[in-house]
Amino acid sequence: MTLLLALDSACASCSAAVWQDGEVLAHKFEDMPRGQSENLMPFVAEVMKKSSIDFPDLDVLAVTVGPGAFTGIRICLSAARGLALATKKPLVGVTTMEALLVAQDLSNFQGALVAVVIETKRMDYYIQFFDHNGMSMGEPEALLASSIAKKFETLSQGKQIFLCGDGAERLKQEAIVADCEFEFGSENSQPDAGVFGQVAMDKYNAMGRAAFEIAPAPLYLRPPDATPPKPKFLFKAAGH
């Protein structure tokens, strides 16, 4: 029996879930553009209580590492690292792209190009391409719509383009590509601990505890918007 606690606040939502051997024992999810710092740990406490699981009983923890919102990634990684350290449990990192992809049913899109798209609230998008079997065709990138359109034309070769993630709708409007048919994924456009916990469980079972003894690092695709203030220098006039 393997018990796993998964948590996420990397994008515009907050979630936690307790898994046991591929089954969800307890789950909490809310769309939440802000406020994850106040809600993530109460979510964790709630699912632990509902599942009647104590922290020492856990075998492994899982967390989304990005890409996504800088603050949200820091919140969930800090919380997960703290829990892993306190409980002496391994911590599995799952990208937000993996978390969103596992929620999709690709069975009706044989031959399609799959793009997982995350909203950045800027002119660019976070995006990663996969084939119809869910196999990665490259690393996650931060790209403008014009660059994505060129990739669509090159990679899809006129086939269906399957879009999922909370940036999909905006991207379709901006990245107009001739001879390409766009399809959209499920309404679940946010990472959800009640879904991606299975990805983490599969990784843990395949690679073993030793592979996750070192805490995962955040996946940032560009520098943060905020920058430290420049130092102020005080000059004194000569003779003073």
pLDDT tens digits along 118-131? 999 999 999 999 99
Structure tokens at 76: 């969930």
pLDDT in tens, 55-111: 999 999 999 999 999 999 999 999 999 999 999 999 999 999 999 999 998 888 888
Rounded-to-integer distance, Cα 149 and Cα 101, Å: 20
- Kindly list the distances between the CA atom of residue 201 and the CA atoms of 44, 130, 184, in Å, as whole numbers in the listed order: 18, 21, 27
Burial class (CB in 10 A: 0-12, 13-18, 19+), 170: middle
Residue ranges and CATH numbers for the domains of the chain are: 3-97+190-212 (3.30.420.40), 105-184 (3.30.420.40)
Note the pLDDT of residue 178.
61
Distance between CA atoms of residues 125 and 162, nearest Å = 16
Confidence grade of residue 225 (pLDDT, cut at 50, 70, 90): low
Q: Where does the pLDDT of residue 51 fall: very low under 50, low under 70, confident under 90, or very high at 90 and above? A: very high
Total-model pTM: 0.89
**Nearby residues of 226 by Cβ (< 8 Å), 6 or more positions away:** none
- pLDDT, the chain, mean: 90
Any idea what DSSP says for residue 179? T
pLDDT of residue 204: 96
